[in-house]
Amino acid sequence: MWKRIKRVLKHQWVDKADLNRAMPADLLKRLQAKIAVSEQQHSGEIQIYAEAGLPLADLWSQVSTPQLIRQRALAIFSKTQVWDTANNNGVLIYLLLAEHSIEIVADRGLSQWVDPGEWQRMLTRMSKAFQKGQFEEGLTQAINEVSTLLTTHFPLKEGAFNVNELTDQPVLG
């Protein structure tokens, strides 16, 4: 019970102002540009979604915090329709500020080609930057690593271009 109370306080303490300080407008523009450049190399779609803390209703759950973060990332993946791309190769990069945590959700078109262990190793590498509060470094690394996977499995054919199905602008929830 004490763990859940502590988790609720932690997530309620962090607010939109904290998120805006961690993800200022100039950073959002740089990330948007990186996504746009990435999407010129493959047919996939990358969406960044960051939020300060989990909704209060989720925080009272008896589920562990890592499981809650994964569940929330899956819910955002659905809510933002990252799953609804033509080639089923959309990828959500989810940042949860209160936990300094990242989660990646890939649609079935890409996930079928990538070993689950590779996703976990990728998250472990990126988590180091997030735990230090280095959000730009961690998100840039996430974009680069996801781009490499998308370029490997969904390269654009010569003369083709990627129809932008999702906004390149990171979303702050």
- Cα distances (angstroms) measured from residue 121 to each of 46, 96, 124, 126: 19, 19, 5, 9
The percent of residues in the chain predicted with pLDDT above 90, rounded, is 74
Cβ-based neighbours of 87, under 8 Å, separated by 6 or more:
43, 44, 109, 154
pLDDT tier at 161 (50, 70, 90 boundaries)?
confident
Q: In the chain, what are the domain boundaries?
A: 2-172
Mean pLDDT of the chain: 93
Residue 110 confidence (pLDDT):
95
Strand partners, 104: 93
Q: 2-172: which CATH architecture?
A: Roll (3.10)
Would you say residue 128 has pLDDT above 90? Answer: no
Q: pTM value? A: 0.94
Residue 125 confidence (pLDDT):
87
